[in-house]
Amino acid sequence: MSRNEQKLQTRQRILEGAGRGFRKGGFAGVGVDGLAKEAGVTSGAFYVHFDSKAHAFREVVIHGMSILKNGLLQFQREHGKQWWHLFVHFYLNERRICDLSDSCVLPSLTSEVVRSDELSRTAFETELREVAKLIATGPASVDLPKDVESAFAALACLIGGVSLARAVSDPDLAQTIATAVARALLPQHSLKSSKKE
């Protein structure tokens, strides 16, 4: 492996470790030493790749949004006309119950972006617009948001639903919240499902 490839691998490891650290502790709850430890590197190695904690946070946000966009594209490719309702159920279930350190960037870091610097907020906004466009222009699917504005509303419901469900200790209440959000986002699909029963 070349020196350049090693450097890229180390940067990726730091990025992934920092992502776990920020998701678990928030921006203020973890320092550079903690982020480096999460990635299994020294603080000096961290600074070789990122000039500040804020720089790492911005890159974590961009990386997390890239993972979300790739996930959406995968659902669209693999599930065709069923992609939207399958994605909604996946997001409200698997993404709700996974370990917080592995959760989606939107429910776990949006509130941190609000308090971040202008560069991070701008990067987040750019990525968010791309995510909404990707949803709105995806393959025709029952209950798919009809435009970018509707896609933003759907994202807000998904993020809010996951956040609320994660915040309660009663698993039955968490499931009730997830189910209610799914019904709100998928009215036609829910109606078809109830007619079959």
What residue numbers bound the domain in which 133 lies?
A: 53-196
Q: Is residue 112 part of a domain?
A: yes
Domain membership flag for residue 17 = no
pLDDT tens by residue, 158-167: 999 999 999 9
Spatial distance between the Cα atoms of 137 and 131, rounded to a whole number of angstroms: 10
Question: What CA–CA distance (Å, rounded) separates 185 from 25?
Answer: 30
Mean pLDDT, the chain, integer: 93
- pLDDT value at residue 194: 44
Contact, 6 vs 29, CB < 8 A? no
Q: How many domains does the chain have?
A: 1
> Could you tell me if residue 33 is left (phi over 0), alpha (psi between -120 and 50 degrees) or otherwise beta?
alpha
In a domain, 160, yes or no: yes
User: Got the DSSP string for 17-86?
Assistant: HHHHHHHHHTTTT--HHHHHHHHTS-HHHHHHH-SSHHHHHHHHHHHHHHHHHHHHHHHHHHHGGGHHHH
For the segment 129-160, what is each residue's pLDDT rounded down to a tens digit?
Answer: 999 999 999 999 999 999 999 999 999 999 99
Q: What pLDDT was estimated at residue 197?
A: 45
Question: Is 157 domain-assigned?
Answer: yes
Global pTM exceeds 0.75: yes
Looking at the domain assignment, is residue 57 inside a domain? yes
Q: Is residue 114 part of a domain?
A: yes
Is 15 contained in some domain? no
For residues 157 and 142, the answer to whether their CB atoms sit within 8 Å is no
Instruction: Give residue 135's pLDDT.
Output: 98
**CATH number of 145's domain:** 1.10.357.10
Asked if pLDDT for residue 196 goes beyond 70, the answer is: no
Of 149, 148, 162, 158, the closest CA to residue 184 belongs to 158
